Amino acid sequence: MKITFLGTGTSHGIPAIGCTCAVCRSTDPKNKRRRSSLYVEAGGRHLIIDTAPDFRDQVLTFGVSRVDAVLLTHAHADHIFGFDDLRRFCFMQKMRIPVYGSQATIGSMRIKFSYIMEESLWRATAPQVDFIEVDSSFSIADIDIEPLAVPHGPMAVYGYVIRHAGQSVGYFPDCSALDAMTIDRLRGVDVMILDALREEPHPTHLCLDESVEYLKNIGAEQSYITHLCHALEHNRTQSRLPEGIAVPYDGLVTEW
């Protein structure tokens, strides 16, 4: 299994527009963060989790040449507004791309991207996708995917556990808590990626200390935090983290 962090930032991206803080002015490329998204390669299949507004830049910069399926965590703008650029993959691959999400997420996608469904002159140039609502585990070829609902403030969103050939990764970029049942489902994953917005508590995201405690409890061989805002400088944050928990950066590739 191979994963590429296409984006590790929060909804504003880093640098944030108009901000002159030290992180936004940093020349360290590890402090340049696109909106959060993950590319997963397993069993000859290529999956995207969330089509961030930076999707076109992400796939061009990090060499994404194929997309076989898309998993959506939820329909907030920072996770879906690169969706239209899937049309290039549909055209190149000569296929309709399946897009998976919760009933609420897919319902929202049908509204926000209504032109995809319309019978009109423009439909031929829209992404050719099949929206698929899921509320339990499903498979794409020999890849097993388990959606797990978690709170993102007052709403429920999905995180995903992806398993293939005895290997697994958990990806939960927007999350404000994990209950005991979810933690039990996550124990045993090889790689765990979890929201950690900033140091201070936040009503809809995990803060750094909360995320670290959950990651220690889950106990993956390697863990990462993601969806980071400009309050978290890469090297300083990494120096605070225990062994086995890392700050990723855009373009980081992990293979196991």
Query: What are the angstrom distances between the C-alpha of 198 and each of 54, 159, 172?
Result: 21, 19, 15
Return the domain boundaries, the chain: 2-255
Question: What would the pLDDT profile of 59-118 be if each residue is shown by its tens digit?
Answer: 999 999 999 999 999 999 999 999 999 999 999 999 999 999 999 999 999 999 998 877
**The predicted structure's pLDDT at residue 128:** 94
Q: Is the pTM of this model over 0.95?
A: yes
pLDDT score for 125? 78
Contact 155, 73 (CB under 8 A): no
The per-residue pLDDT for 123 is: 61
Contacts with 156 (C-beta within 8 Å, 6 or more apart), sequence order: 102, 104, 149, 150
Q: What confidence score (pLDDT) does residue 118 get?
A: 75
Q: What is the CATH number of domain 2-255?
A: 3.60.15.10
Report the C-alpha gap between 237 and 217 in whole angstroms.
Answer: 20
End-to-end CA distance of the chain: 6
Segments of the chain scoring below 50 in pLDDT: none
CA–CA gap between residue 15 and residue 164 (Å, rounded): 36
The answer to whether 47 and 73 have CB atoms below 8 angstroms apart is no
pLDDT of 81: 98
